[in-house]
Amino acid sequence: MWKATYDLVAQVPMGRVTTYGAVAKALGDVVASRFVGLAMSMNDDIVRVPCRRVVQTDGRIGGYTGGGPEKKTRLLRSEGIEVTGGRIADMERYFFDEFKSDYPLKNLRKRQLLMKRDLRLTREGGSEFEKVVGVDVAYKGDHAFSAMVVLDVDSGVEVARAVDEIETRFPYMPTFLGFREIPVIRRLMHDLDSSTVVMYDGNGVLHPNGFGIASQVGVEFGIPTIGVAKRLLCGTVTGRWHGNAREIRVGGELAGHVLRSPLSKKGVFVSAGHMITSEEALNITRRFVRHRVPEPTRMAHIAAESARRGTRNK
């Protein structure tokens, strides 16, 4: 994605400017706008990739790592672009968005939609789960540290854990998180089976696309998953509290629950990921609520952060 972004910006001709959003659209989705800004700030080839020609949508020139806004202004003026008061004087006149692109994010979105066809919120047999696996990922530059902590469902006792580290270059972009993290956790997933449910730090079907990272992980590896997120991305919390939970509905349909622990007024947002019902997802997560974040993902987060800091202590 980095190379694709730089290749697009390299197409902006002298005397023209584009915007972070226009480059993101040429990648295939405007949600990549913030990433485009990050890529420009890290550009180390200002000759081939003229990041000075990328400005904000309203015409403000924005920052420039090659010498600050003042130098960016001088460079743009040297190309015949009128800049007044820190803005491009006539954006329509100078604006460029005639990119040649294969829209890589659109292709990834198509892959997501194909995967979503395999999403199931039931499972055959209906036998009780024996283990819950919390999974989380921490990052340090281009290095990703994934952790899984395996807990016995009945006793809540930890029975195993593992940590892995790989290099990753796929950037963070909303709704594309699965493509960033699935390669990172892949080596941890190979021994899991249908008697195990994975609790993932992210959304399941409680997602604008109805297919969050917990669902994508479940379909990718063919395993039951639960999404436990700290932010509500869509839906409406409805009805009364039933114990420590309330329903969340999207378009009138049950999509998940907000679940609150006795130690936190802030809840987490629980939804089915794959091969599990909404009720099962809630009941299993309830068993592990002590702090705000349920124990499986809380422990996995601690393990991933410890690995990122260079220690592996509990």
Residue count (the chain): 314
Rounded Cα–Cα distance for residues 286 and 90 (Å): 57
Instruction: Report the C-alpha gap between 280 and 272 in whole angstroms.
Output: 8
CB-based contacts of 244-253 (< 8 A; 24+ apart in sequence): 244/286, 244/289, 245/270, 245/282, 245/286, 248/206, 250/206, 250/210
Helix (H) or strand (E) holding 303, with range, is helix 295-309
In the residue annotation, 234 being an active-site residue is answered as: no
Cα angle at 86 between 83 and 87, to 5 degrees? 60
Which residue out of 51, 133, 149, 293 is catalytically annotated? 51
CA-based angle 96:100:105, to the nearest 5?
105
Catalytic residues: 51
